[in-house]
Structure 1
Amino acid sequence: MAENTVNEEEKNVQGEETTKEQVEQPVAENETTQEENTEAPQEEVQEEVAEVDALKAEVQEQKDKYLRLYSEFDNFRRRTAKEKLDLVQNANEKLIGELLSVVDNFDRANDNFNEEMDAKSVHEGAVLISKNLKSILEKFGLTPIETEKGDAFDTDIHDAITEIPVPEEELKGKVFDVVGKGYKLNDKVIRFAKVVVGAK
């Protein structure tokens, strides 16, 4: 009987130990899991912080690049506007320089003019100055629009100032008379030839 009591007590002690081990083991596992869980969020937070820092650096880099480009474009725009203004202001510099020789010729003619000069010499001087002027203008691309009586009326180069009835059938709807010569500058009409057209 005493032996049975001892055996039961041993079994109870063993049972208690087993229960303690079973209780302690899950507690230990829970502690390990909690530690892992604590480490995992910290790593995630560190990764997110690193990613945010990288994005901030990229945004700053793009901002700096934008500011540099904007500054360069602004400088380019100002420089181009200044060059355009200079070009407009000085576009005729070369032409004016060439025309000064014509002005000089007129001045010389006026200085040498007197009442004793005959009409022929005055006319010759005027013709020379006119040729000089025309040659300079031709050098800069100015060409006259050649229009004669009987030419077909062309609205691209002619400006009809009036229409008159004409007896000749072949002149109806065509140029009857040239009142003012037209001119082109580098193939662009800068003054239309003023003409009288025969009425149809």
Structure 2
Amino acid sequence: MDIDQKKTEKQASSSNDVSDAESSSCIKEIKEIELLQEELEKDKNKFLRLFAEFENYKKRIKKERYDIFRAIHEKILIDLIPILDDFERGLKELKKSKDEFLVRGIALIQEKFIKILKEKGLNKIKIKKGDDFNTDFHEAITQIPAITEDLKGKIIEIIEAGYILQEKVIRHAKVITGK
């Protein structure tokens, strides 16, 4: 029995050695898997941050493009306003000439031009003599003594029309007010 017992102990001991080796190998593999999972999580977070940064970059570029186009659009319309002024002055002088066909032709061109500018968002500030002076829309060139008491602080003369581009005043109306 002694020999059998020794054999059994030896087999158990070698089986324990194999079992310890397998257990040690499993622990190493588990640790390696955990390290790989941590690295994967870090890479995933890095990717998500990069993706979010890229999306924000696209939004920022889109907004900047829109702002640039809007600024260019506004600048072009501002540059066209003096042409509207010239049309008004020209028509006023042409009406003195008695040539109805010429006056009507220029008036049609002016109307077409104004229609196109309105489609682009440009509108004339509606004012008339006797309206209250409003610094949001009017610029006082000078003040003159009011003929009557009710004209104090009111618009007496309109020197130059003002314009609004999509709810933004791009040129104040130049007026003379009563004091």
TM-score by length of 1: 0.54
Structure 1 letter corresponding to 2:130? G
Aligned length: 144
Distance change in 2, residues 1:48/1:163 (3 Å): farther
Structure 1 letter corresponding to 2:167? D
Q: Deviations over 1:106-130 (max 9, x none)?
A: xxxxxxxxxxxx8332222111100
Equivalent residue runs for 1:50-199 within 5 Å: 50=30, 53-71=33-51, 73-74=53-54, 77-78=57-58, 81=61, 84-85=64-65, 88-89=68-69, 92=73, 119-199=99-179
* Higher Cα Rg, which structure: 1
Q: Quick one: higher RCO (CA 8 Å, sep 6+), 1 or 2?
A: 2
- Displacement after TM superposition at 1:60 (Å): 3.2
Distance change in 2, residues 1:136/1:62 (3 Å): same
Paired with 1:150 and 1:144, the residues of 2 have a C-alpha distance of: 18
Distance change in 2, residues 1:86/1:121 (3 Å): same
Structure 1: gaps (5+ residues)? 1-38, 100-117
- Displacement after TM superposition at 1:57 (Å): 2.1
Distance change in 2, residues 1:171/1:137 (3 Å): same
Paired with 2:59 and 2:126, the residues of 1 have a C-alpha distance of: 43
Q: Using the aligned pairs only, state the percent identity.
A: 30
TM-score by length of 2: 0.59
Q: Tell me the secondary structure at the aligned position of residue 156 of structure 1.
A: coil
Distance change in 2, residues 1:122/1:89 (3 Å): same
Q: Deviations over 1:73-130 (max 9, x none)?
A: 33662575267437735975xx99xx9xxxxxxxxxxxxxxxxxx8332222111100
